[in-house]
Amino acid sequence: MSEATTESGLPIKARYGPEDLDGFDPAVQLGEPGAYPFTRGVYPSMYTGRPWTMRQYAGFGTAAESNARYKELVANGTGGLSVAFDLPTQMGYDSDHPLASGEVGKVGVAIDSVEDMQVLFDGLPLDEVSTSMTINAPAASLLLMYQLVAEGNGIPAAQLTGTIQNDVLKEYIARGTYIYPPAESLRLISNIFAYCHREIPRWNTISISGYHMAEAGATPVQEVAFTLANAKAYVQAALDAGLAVDDFAPRLSFFFVARTTLLEEVAKFRAARRIWARMMKEEFGAQNPKSMMLRFHTQTAGVQLTAQQPEINLVRVALQGLGAVLGGTQSLHTNSFDEAIALPTAKAARLALRTQQVLAHETDVTRTVDPFAGSYVVESLTDDLEEAVLALMQAVDDRGGAVHAIEQGFQKSEIERSAYDNALQIDSGERVVVGQNRFTVEEHERYEPLRVDPAIEAAQAQRLERLRADRDGSAVERALADLRTAAEGTDNVLPPMRAALAARATGGEVADALRDVWGQHVPRETF
């Protein structure tokens, strides 16, 4: 019989005891909750004071349709909005661009202008709600649209809270919605850090993401190692741009997956906090404890959902959500059971939110801080994961750091190898997926998925036509020219970008202005 291993390929024993923690020093490796090295959580009271922020990732079709879904989620008790944008928006193309054909509104909401953003958040209290936006290459323009809408509603930017994902490096590794080359992308991210420090100080300027790497096949060790290696590159880029570490690091945040392998996931979160705290303190000289806190959002594992017997996904999501909570997440999105089939229906989205509410209000996991502290198996797994993560981060450093390793295809090839191994295990039955390769049924219930009206594309094109006809075209061209000038030099590009958007330039026009100067990234094949 082969030795049992974790998802990361680390040995996991049938029995753990005191001998597995030989040399374990709680004062060094654990500390107190809310204190360095934050293994036990970033806040002293964690959920005993209040639960995590319950977010539900949503967005589809038009801004008006998504606005209705947001209002329904808020009415059902969600504590934060999380915006999904369609692929043209994510790639910096307007809805009437030829490359947008067939994709408008399909995997998220179409946002082409400040006017669309105004409709998206109409009637929602932006000074009270925390908004997360899953947007990367064009993150600056979407954040500025949000700021302009809020200020137009009389809400000062200083009152806004939320997060932009803004993590472009992982796009080159696993997801693909990049626009500009890595060096220019890092410059844009540093510009966002500096702008928000001055203008939107409560905003989380980046959510450094391992989630999408996990969805592409990364193991827990790869997820954490490559995420923290990317974070290290962002910190260094900001320092190289002249920013002080404690001016921007407290607003950095992270985004991880929660799989069904609950014990390893809890250990993963605890190890990630410890590694980040030590790196920020010892390597970058951070003095502010908030700079050392790894605060993170978690989403349950979409890649583990099945289209076969989709109701089983309700069980998976509940277990994954529990793992995230036991691991100390700051906010959580629970996937809907029907997401392996299509965009979630309103009923499925409500059930996903109710899953979090049951965890928060009907279980006892919120009554004590870090319930697994001192567990032989979890503490041992945390140490094992930390050692493996540090070794893989060193492999990235040996290749010149995250950006150079990306250019060499290192992270992408490592993840692809893990994904292939996982697929082989599922196909052979070595890895059990209930309802898919074991405990299957021949008859499947008919399921009616949510469908996006294809007429949305034409409607968005008409909105853009009216926008361009009504605006001052000369003012837009002057503003876009100023943006190109800033991009050619060393000035922060966000002030002229904001002026262009305020003059009613579209998101695609802003992205094109930067494309004119910076060009586009061309990926290197890894096989």
CATH number for position 185: 3.20.20.240
73 located within any domain: yes
pLDDT value at residue 211: 97
pLDDT tens across 151-161, in order?
A: 999 999 999 99
Rounded to two decimals, what is the model's pTM?
Answer: 0.93
pLDDT tens across 88-121, in order?
A: 999 999 999 999 999 999 989 999 999 999 999 9
112 φ, ψ (degrees, to nearest 5):
-105, -15
504 located within any domain: no
> What average pLDDT is seen over the chain?
95
Q: Which two tokens stand for residue 211?
A: 């989630």
pLDDT value at residue 449: 73
d(CA 102, CA 150): 31
Q: How many structural domains compose the chain?
A: 1
Q: What is the 3-state secondary structure (H, E, C) of 36-95?
A: CCCCCCCCCCHHHCCCCEEEEEECCECHHHHHHHHHHHHHCCCCEEEEEECHHHHCCCCC
Residue ranges making up the domain that contains 175: 40-352+372-428
493 located within any domain: no
pLDDT value at residue 1: 40
Choose among 65, 60, 67: nearest CA to 85.
60
107 located within any domain: yes
pLDDT of 436 over the 90 cut: yes
pLDDT of 282 over the 90 cut: yes
Choose among 330, 328, 329: nearest CA to 373.
328
Q: Give the model's confidence band at 361: pLDDT under 50 very low, under 70 low, under 90 confident, else very high.
A: very high
254 located within any domain: yes
pLDDT of 318 over the 90 cut: yes
Greater confidence, 56 or 415?
Answer: 415
d(CA 107, CA 162): 21
CA angle 408, 413, 418 (to 5 degrees): 155
d(CA 513, CA 498): 13
Q: Give the model's confidence band at 416: pLDDT under 50 very low, under 70 low, under 90 confident, else very high.
A: very high
Query: Can the peptide bond before residue 371 be classed as cis, meaning omega within 30 degrees of 0?
Result: no
175 located within any domain: yes
Taking residues 69-92, report their average pLDDT.
92
d(CA 149, CA 121): 8
Point out which residues pair with 438 in neighbouring strands: 434
d(CA 162, CA 143): 10
pLDDT tens across 339-358, in order?
A: 999 888 889 999 999 999 99
Q: Which two tokens stand for residue 362?
A: 């009907």
> What does 173-208 look like in DSSP terms, one character per residue?
III----S-HHHHHHHHHHHHHHHHHH-TTEE-EEE
pLDDT tens across 255-277, in order?
A: 999 999 999 999 999 999 999 99
164 located within any domain: yes
Choose among 50, 36, 13, 18: nearest CA to 330.
50
pLDDT value at residue 527: 43
Q: Identify the residue whose tokens are 């790869």.
A: 222
Burial code of 271-294, b = ≥16 C-beta within 10 A, e = fewer? bbbbbbbbbbbeebebeebebbbb
pLDDT value at residue 448: 74
138 located within any domain: yes
Sheet holding 130-134, edge to edge: 203-204, 162-164, 130-134, 80-84, 53-58, 331-333, 296-300, 252-258, 206-209
pLDDT of 445 over the 80 cut: no
Taking residues 198-218, report their average pLDDT.
97
Q: How crowded is the C-beta side of 31, counted as CA atoms within 13 Å?
A: 18
